Chains A and B, each alone.
Chain A
Amino acid sequence: MADNTGNGQKTNGLPRIGFYICHCGSNIAGIIDVVAVAKFAETLPGVVVSREYKYMCSDPGQELIAQDIKEHKLERIVVASCSPNLHEETFRKAAQKGGLNPFYFQMVNIREHASWVHENKAAATLKAKDLCRAAIYRVRLHKALEKRRVPVNPDVLVVGGGIAGIHAALTLANAGKKVTLVEREATIGGHMAMFDKTFPTLDCAACILTPKMSAVKSHPNITLWTYSEVEKVDGYVGSYEVTVKRKPRYIKEDLCVGCMECIEACVFKEAKVPDAFNQGLSKRRPIYIDFPQATPKVVVIDPATCINVKTGKCKKTCVEACDRDAIDFTQKEEKVQLKVGTIVLATGFKPFDPKKSPHYGYGKYPGVFTALEIERLVNASGPTSGEVLTRDGRHPKAVGIIHCVGSRDEKTNKWCSRVCCMYSLKLAHLIKEHSGAEVYNFYIDMRAPGKAYEEFYEKLLSEGVHFIRGRVAEVTDWAMTKEEEGKLVLRVEDTLAGFVRRVPVDMVVLATGLVPQSDAGDVRRVFNIGCGKEGFFQERHPKLAPVNTFTDGVFIAGACQAPKDIPDTVAQAGAAAAEALALVDAGFVELEPNTSYVLEEECCGCKNCIPLCPYTAISFDETKKKADINEVLCKGCGVCAAACPSGSIVQNLFEDAEIYSEIEGVLAR
């Protein structure tokens, strides 16, 4: 450690600055000459201490700052190291420990912005000097700021009642928090409720899921609102005001016991409506229940097909049949207001639409199914009571499962959907078990990276399932040989054997990938969070803040964040619940002071800023004729400060003078 201290430099009335450059092991020092940068910084006006050190973030590194502040009467601190995302808080605390306001600090990212992205050592060192000079110029103008504290409402909103939402809601409720779970469909359960078994353990999905579903229903701390959607979210971390739209199900939920007498009594003697829960493989009546363990166990009337809802002219045999008077055609859509402090989003995924890969013949050949359809077929409570049958009722003798449909594909989605290999193995096992058919799995790579997953693959290998490595080119009914007649033929290059195969089968299963919900974009806007370019919700940090979002107090869990299996979903849901709990139990949140404020005297009342704030933090005071920023709502995006035509909005930490001095610093070479 070479110190360049005590050079007796006069600060000429400038604040006394301590400058520290971190080696970050060899991450920074391997490319940047840190000694040279420290020597250089020492020559800049105001710098009274300039040091380089192996790991500034370590305890001794932080201690160094705190010590120097006391010893050298430092008034400003600059640390050149990694990203502020990682250690800004660390060094602010170190400054505070030394007795300085933590905002008299500026961080320079010479790792991500210099050493990691450059190879030329001299040039990278020069760039590091420029960046450090900019910070040193800027930090002189910093002002002492205070973090703000706002109380956190302990109630939590969970959106989406798949396994993620269920698990998060239960965890929170068990911790004594009041939870409202809002689910769009008539029942909770999500995709998992559709499965027969789950990989890799092959335990019965219903057996493990339904107890959790009924626990949600009966939990004293959980309010379950199904058939409902969140329409609007106002407010900020700690106090969100949520508007929920509750669609009429024409059933009084508290009266219905789910006896289903009404369903039998419906004037539709035959079920005519494709049953969405069964992927359209069976039909239901306008009054229905998704599955026997639906939660709440309450029927629902589909307004699109119910004659009474549509025309008001029906004998209403269902009403007669209900001895509890639970059917209520007067129900109207309701808007309910809710106040919560934190929100967990668990809106899940939607399966890839196989029609987007027309070469696999979905919708063209009746023998082509999606994986979810097969999940229903192999399910004992599904449309065929667990029998694997083609649409025309035949028992397939050979079944081909095509992996990666809508995944790992330049033409559709590039990402790996993570669960398709595994559920394809599961379905191969179940199909074989239920039908005795020969099963062929066509895969690109077998991805089995979870606990006991590879073992599950091994098991399948030993069960006589055929595995062919190659992306299927097409599914066709064009027979080239006698054996192929009446069959669906999968054309594939077997990349292990090195030739093109034609495999005739009776049933094709498309392992469709996981894609964002169709309305993920709208949901994202309602909750004011981001999403990646593929449309899944964006976590704050891929490694270190995987369930946080860029909106404080809004957490994400499950497949809405990215494709994942049930174990990961549940783990993430637990994490999201824990993050929410941490906020709730702290009782208050500290907000960054980088907010904007209106210079009241100077504001001309032009209202230019009012509509621009993405967080609706700005209102117009009609008596004063001035704009006013709600400091708690302000996220410090700076839009208003940039847009105020008379420069009458100032953003803390990003004052014009600070930014200009930084620019001057970077250009001063």
Chain B
Amino acid sequence: MSEKPKVAFYWCAACGGCDEAVVDLAEGILDVVAAVDIVLWPVAMDFKKADIEARPDKSILVSFINGSIRSSEQVEWVRLLRKKSQLVISFGTCAGGGGIPALANEFSREEILKYVYETCPSNVNESKVRPGPTPVAHNGDGSALTLPELHEQVRSLDQVVAVDYYLPGCPPTPKIIAAAVGALLSGKMPPPGTVLSPDKALCDECRRKDSKPADLSLAEFKRPHQMHIDPEKCLLAQGLLCMGGSTRSGCEALCPEGNMPCTGCFGPTSRVRDKGAKVVSAILSNIAADEPEAIDKILDTFPDPVGTLYRYGFSKAMLRRKQDD
């Protein structure tokens, strides 16, 4: 029976939502399970690293890896999977661009470690133990127990190993997962490096598009909780920072359908190198004011610039991570 293609799922710095998305295939998952052998899926099945190590190189057809890469352990795992797999698919926006965890790149590693392991008020860590190569305890057999080391940068998967395809989304929607799996199993994959969702921005499939005026003349940026959102009208036109125009489509405008602005989880189109910079030139060129002070006043209402502009792709931003001094 081991004629069936072998498939691995793995998670790195992730919230678990991507694995949940696989489960969300609902009865579709059964077809997948019937068609393949799952050889690794930490969230659901009990395989160990040694099981993978024991496999011949390239014996796994495809590894779906979600989460960004920020620790020594994650690097080891993804290198191992790369070696054992014919294809590596970056699954979800954290693997694709760093995702939410990559916002940690706004801070230096020292700042993060100090806060999380020392100064955070809910902490008790008198010996100031931190993860890293220094042993923190001993295993039952007396060998040293170390915690994986936190890296200087939060990286996307392709910044660590070669990636063949990308499934965008936080998490990828069942529709695009199913389409990808279908294409894989039928052997009809696009050229390597492709992001497996349409290379057009989300406005294209948004129901509200027709209500977007040509001239936005934004006089203020609002956040969803500050207002009653008109369920029909273009969200940008309502002053909400909807990222639809700069974000890949494929999700069928889930958020705008749910009366919330797009936050950009499908990432930029292939033609955009730095999403944040792009959004700055796109949206800010629509500011209503002309005079510097008036412009500043409007900009003051722009919520959390880095978090908004680079919410899912800070690893790929041209802005570099804040370094330890």
Contacts and interface: CB of A to CB of B under 8 A. Distances in A.
Nearest to B209: A605
Nearest to A642: B281
B271 A645 contact: no
Nearest to A644: B282
Contact of A647 (B203, B204, B271): B271
Contacts of A461: none
B273 A645 contact: no
A608 B273 CA distance: 18
A296 B249 CA distance: 65
A76 to B, nearest CB: 24
A654 to B, nearest CB: 14
B201 A645 contact: yes
Given A644-B282, A645-B246, A606 B271 contact: no
Given A604-B203, A660-B273, A611 B214 contact: yes
Contact of A645 (B209, B213, B270, B279): B279
B67 interface: no
A603 B269 CA distance: 11
A620 B281 contact: no
A607 interface: yes
Given A606-B203, A607-B212, A648 B282 contact: no
Given A642-B281, A646-B246, A604 B202 contact: yes
Contact of A646 (B213, B214, B269, B281): B269
Interface string B202-220: 1110000100111110000
A660 B318 CA distance: 12
A625 interface: yes
A119 B270 CA distance: 44
A323 interface: no
A612 interface: yes
Contacts of B278: 645, 647
Contacts of B213: 607
Contacts of B285: 608, 612, 639, 642-643
Contacts of B283: 645
B200 A625 contact: no
Which has the most chain A C-beta neighbours within 10 Å: B216, B268, B269?
Answer: B269
Nearest to B215: A611
Interface in A129-185: none
Interface in B268-296: 268-273, 278-279, 281-283, 285-286
Interface string B183-214: 00000000000000001111110000100111
Contacts, number: 78
B209 A646 contact: no
Which has the most chain B C-beta neighbours within 10 Å: A606, A607, A612, A648?
Answer: A606
Contacts of A611: 214-215, 286
Interface in A601-645: 601-608, 610-612, 620, 625, 639, 642-645
How would you classify the secondary structure of chain A's contact residues: helix, strand, loop or mixed? loop
Given A644-B282, A646-B201, A604 B273 contact: no
A646 B200 contact: yes
Contacts of B261: none
How would you classify the secondary structure of chain B's contact residues: helix, strand, loop or mixed? loop
Contacts of B96: none
A602 B271 contact: yes
B244 interface: yes
A607 B272 CA distance: 17
Interface in B175-189: none
Contact of B269 (A610, A639, A647): A647
A159 to B, nearest CB: 26
Contacts of B200: 601-604, 646, 648
B245 interface: yes
Contacts of B281: 642-643
Contact of B201 (A604, A620, A639, A642): A604
Contacts of A607: 212-214
B209 A606 contact: yes
Contacts of B268: 646-647
Contacts of B273: 656, 660
B245 A608 contact: yes
Contacts of B279: 645
A621 to B, nearest CB: 12
Contacts of A647: 268-272, 278
A599 B201 CA distance: 12
Contact of A606 (B201, B215, B270): B201
B317 to A, nearest CB: 15
A639 B282 CA distance: 10
Which has the most chain A C-beta neighbours within 10 Å: B200, B201, B213?
Answer: B201
A604 B209 CA distance: 9
A643 B278 CA distance: 7
A639 B271 CA distance: 16
Which has the most chain A C-beta neighbours within 10 Å: B200, B204, B271, B283?
Answer: B271
B299 to A, nearest CB: 17
A603 B281 CA distance: 17
Contacts of B245: 604, 606, 608, 645-646
Interface string A88-109: 0000000000000000000000
A605 B206 CA distance: 10
B206 to A, nearest CB: 9
Interface in A572-611: 599, 601-608, 610-611
Contact of A608 (B270, B271, B282): B282
Nearest to B244: A606
Interface in A641-669: 642-648, 656, 660
Contacts of A644: 282
Contacts of A612: 285-286
Which has the most chain A C-beta neighbours within 10 Å: B249, B278, B282?
Answer: B282
A647 B275 CA distance: 10
Contacts of B272: 645-647
Contacts of A601: 200
Contact of B203 (A599, A605, A620, A656): A605
18 contacts: A604-B203, A604-B204, A605-B209, A606-B201, A606-B245, A608-B245, A612-B285, A620-B214, A639-B285, A643-B281, A643-B282, A645-B272, A645-B283, A646-B201, A646-B268, A646-B269, A646-B271, A647-B270
Given A646-B271, A648-B271, A656-B271, 19 more contacts: A602-B200, A603-B200, A604-B200, A604-B201, A604-B245, A604-B249, A606-B201, A606-B209, A606-B212, A606-B244, A606-B245, A607-B212, A625-B209, A642-B285, A643-B282, A645-B278, A646-B272, A647-B271, A648-B201
- Top 7 A-B residue pairs of the complex, sorted by shortest distance between their CB atoms: A647-B271, A645-B246, A646-B201, A645-B282, A604-B201, A645-B245, A604-B204
